[in-house]
Structure 1
């Protein structure tokens, strides 16, 4: 594992729009430990890197060493249960289908895609003020 592990971990986690607590929920790694990894205060064992890579749907070699492809070629785990905002939004079938295509192209769930798109849109709107 090289020095940039912490940056790749942050990049992968934030790419899903997840907090450290949400990554902890999906990976089974304690949030405090994820914080220590991201701050570079602690280095994970191989087994922990494997759990994080699986939870984030990224390649083990990419996460651990910065080598190979970022994408692992397997499905992203279900969206953390702590986020329930999607269930209250009513989308028509055409809009849902478009959102699903975006999610699949990014290798994320529909909920993650919606979160990402809304965040991007709000950021763009904030820049125009």
Structure 2
């Protein structure tokens, strides 16, 4: 693992769960971790309810854009966290994988997105503790 571990969050549209997870990790880890996110079939824009839910906790993800999952991005990431993309997510030998079972916030209002946001935060915090036990 390089000096700075890289974490890739993947969901189908890269518009809700993976964007919120990336937002949390950037917020909680600062520049100690390289944060990436992508989707197997990216949406045009980030889910407005996800943007609103994150803004409520002081995290701005308005500048993020859904990105297509690139083979090279996945191959060069240390940890790959998938969120409901099933077989669309590539598997690379020797990578650490986690599959987070989370409700899909697509089409939901901010009330439905808040508990997903909070669940993602606790998972990101646990991941961060495992990545940097010395901190």
Instruction: State if a TM-score over 0.5 links the two structures.
Output: no
Structure with the bigger RCO (C-alpha within 8 Å, sep 6+) is 2
TM-score (norm 2): 0.28
- Greater helix percent: which structure? 1
TM-score (norm 1): 0.29
Find the structure with the greater CA-based Rg: 1
- Greater strand percent: which structure? 2
